[in-house]
């Protein structure tokens, strides 16, 4: 039973990583940049939801929607103010800027909300499910997280395959110049990508803090880095890859914690990444395209 319960916890944590990883992978796919501030958008989302329920007494679902709106605006602003002017700059300049934005967000959060951790009360007010005479208890947080992850995955896949904006995003991710020559406004497409990624980050923030209720300005950084790892692990740029990478990473982390060592869990997670990249540098589902001349 502990095995099953660990597996479920792993899938649930992995689903959070997967939702965050989607933001990383979509932005990378389209803007060819690593948005290291993405993890901190998660933290902002969690704080907004926390404040909305604690101080404004809004219902949880409204607080989540509010968090999504704020994060969407924040994501588009970050892109427009910090990254857009660097569109033609070297990728190193963009990377350093992203790290700067990350610290900026953490410090603004520190100014507004202080360094004392807040206790985030779960946004999911449903009972847990008990199976096998209470030997296996699945929390409502786990169920909602996994369901949210599945719904988001399906919605994003349909969106990129069928909608006009989704197709434009695929075109931009493949070939920016050619997309521009088709009449696609590349800048708008990039903004939309940031908007979607940041809205997802808000959801991830609420789900993460509902399961692990300590909220402080650095809350987003470690899950952010792990989700980035998950995106690379699954094959950066690939939406199913981010999903698969996230869930595998969650399972590996929880299993390492319960069967090997709590202290070593993170080290094991990153060791697995290194091994995967040595064997398959493009990640599990990463594609390598051979171009014809």
Using CB under 8 A as the criterion, which residues of the chain lie in contact with other proteins when the complex forms? 164, 167-168, 170-171, 174-175, 177-186, 287, 289-293
Judged by beta carbon, residue 115 or residue 290, the one nearer other proteins is: 290
The residue behind tokens 């939801």 is 49
Q: Find the shortest distance in angstroms from Cβ 288 to other proteins.
A: 11
Judged by beta carbon, residue 237 or residue 250, the one nearer other proteins is: 237
As given in the structure block, the two tokens for residue 270 are 């990153």
Residue 94 three-state SS = helix
Helices H / strands E in the chain, number of each = 11, 4
Distance CA 31, CA 233 (A): 19
Judged by beta carbon, residue 45 or residue 237, the one nearer other proteins is: 237
Q: Find the shortest distance in angstroms from Cβ 245 to other proteins.
A: 20
Judged by beta carbon, residue 9 or residue 173, the one nearer other proteins is: 173
Residues in the chain: 293
Distance CA 108, CA 229 (A): 26
Q: Find the shortest distance in angstroms from Cβ 179 to other proteins.
A: 8
Judged by beta carbon, residue 72 or residue 238, the one nearer other proteins is: 238
**CB-based contact 69:188 (threshold 8 Å):** no
Judged by beta carbon, residue 169 or residue 206, the one nearer other proteins is: 169
Q: Find the shortest distance in angstroms from Cβ 150 to other proteins.
A: 25
* Angle, helices 38-54/60-78, rounded to nearest 10 degrees: 150
Query: 185-211 as b/e, with b when 16 or more CB fall inside 10 Å?
Result: ebeebbbbbbbbbbbbbbbbbbbbbbb
Judged by beta carbon, residue 84 or residue 122, the one nearer other proteins is: 84
Q: What is the DSSP string of 30-80?
A: HH----TTHHHHHHHHHHHHHHHHHTS---HHHHHHHHHHHHHHHHHHHII
Judged by beta carbon, residue 108 or residue 178, the one nearer other proteins is: 178
Q: Find the shortest distance in angstroms from Cβ 290 to other proteins.
A: 8
Q: Find the shortest distance in angstroms from Cβ 162 to other proteins.
A: 11
Distance CA 220, CA 211 (A): 14
Q: Find the shortest distance in angstroms from Cβ 71 to other proteins.
A: 28
**CB-based contact 237:22 (threshold 8 Å):** no
Secondary structure letter of residue 289 according to DSSP? P
Q: Find the shortest distance in angstroms from Cβ 187 to other proteins.
A: 9
As given in the structure block, the two tokens for residue 28 are 């990378």
């Amino acid at each position: 039973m502990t095995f099953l319960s660990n597996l479920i916890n792993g899938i649930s944590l992995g689903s959070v990583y997967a939702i965050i990883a989607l933001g990383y992978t979509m932005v990378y796919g389209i803007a060819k940049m690593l948005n290291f501030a993405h993890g901190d958008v998660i933290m902002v989302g969690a704080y907004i939801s926390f404040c909305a329920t604690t101080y404004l007494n809004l219902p949880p679902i409204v607080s989540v929607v509010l968090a999504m709106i704020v994060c969407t605006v924040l994501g588009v602003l970050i892109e427009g103010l910090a990254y857009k002017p660097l569109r033609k700059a070297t990728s190193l300049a963009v990377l350093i800027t992203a790290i700067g934005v990350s610290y900026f967000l953490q410090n603004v959060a520190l100014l507004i909300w202080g360094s004392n951790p807040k206790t985030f009360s779960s946004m999911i007010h449903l009972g847990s499910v008990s199976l096998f005479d209470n030997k296996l208890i699945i929390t409502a947080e786990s169920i909602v997280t996994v369901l949210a992850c599945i719904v988001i995955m399906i919605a994003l896949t349909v969106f990129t395959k069928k909608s006009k904006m989704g197709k434009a995003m695929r075109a931009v991710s493949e070939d920016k110049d050619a997309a521009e020559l088709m009449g696609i406004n590349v800048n708008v497409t990039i903004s939309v990508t940031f908007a979607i990624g940041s809205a997802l980050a808000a959801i991830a923030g609420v789900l993460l803090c509902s399961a692990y209720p300590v909220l402080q300005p650095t809350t987003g950084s470690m899950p952010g880095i792990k989700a980035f790892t998950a995106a690379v692990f699954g094959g950066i740029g690939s939406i199913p890859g981010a999903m698969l990478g996230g869930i595998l990473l969650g399972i590996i982390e929880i299993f390492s914690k319960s069967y090997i060592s709590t202290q070593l869990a993170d080290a094991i997670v990153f060791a697995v990444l290194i091994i995967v990249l040595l064997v398959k540098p493009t990640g599990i589902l990463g594609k390598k395209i051979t171009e014809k001349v």
